[in-house]
Amino acid sequence: MASRLKEWARVIKRDVHALYLASRDPRVPWYVKALAVAVAAYALSPIDLIPDFIPVVGYLDDLIIVPLGILLVVWLIPPAIMDEHRERASKATERPLSRAGAVFVIGVWIAAAVLAGWVIYAWLQ
């Protein structure tokens, strides 16, 4: 069961990336692009309709709304175009990760945390 869940998560991640790629494709209608951007943004956003701290119900939106949104957008995009973007998304996940990029992002988070701590400290004085 765990392997099926991992595979399902991998497919969802690939499809979210494919939706992002499709949203930039001129062959996709504008309303599908808008919906694709909304679904991808919601899937990647830390802000949910139902906050995750609410027991059980908080995670239902992630388990129901996101996959249904992905299915709707995938259904609206012509199959040939969606297959092309799925292939591109799969190839993008196979590329090696940039260690320099990871170090930069971690550095930005550390700097933001230090700055936030400094601001809070200065405000409390």
Contact in structure between 82 and 74 (CB atoms under 8 Å): yes
Same domain, 103 and 87: no
Same domain, 11 and 48: yes
| Count of structural domains, the chain | 2
Same domain, 33 and 81: yes
pLDDT at 75: 92
Domain containing 111: what range?
98-125
Same domain, 6 and 30: yes
Same domain, 18 and 47: yes
Widest CA span in the chain: 61
Q: Which of 74, 70, 71, 93 is nearest to 83 (CA)?
A: 74
pLDDT tens digits for range 71-117: 898 899 999 998 999 999 888 877 666 777 778 888 999 999 999 99
120 vs 104: CA distance, rounded Å: 24
Same domain, 67 and 102: no
pLDDT at 115: 93
Same domain, 106 and 85: no
User: What spatial distance separates the first Cα and last Cα of the chain, rounded to whole Å?
Assistant: 54
Same domain, 111 and 86: no
Predicted confidence band of residue 10 (pLDDT cuts 50, 70, 90)? confident
Predicted confidence band of residue 27 (pLDDT cuts 50, 70, 90)? very high
Does pLDDT of 7 surpass 90? no
Place of tokens 């990029």: 101
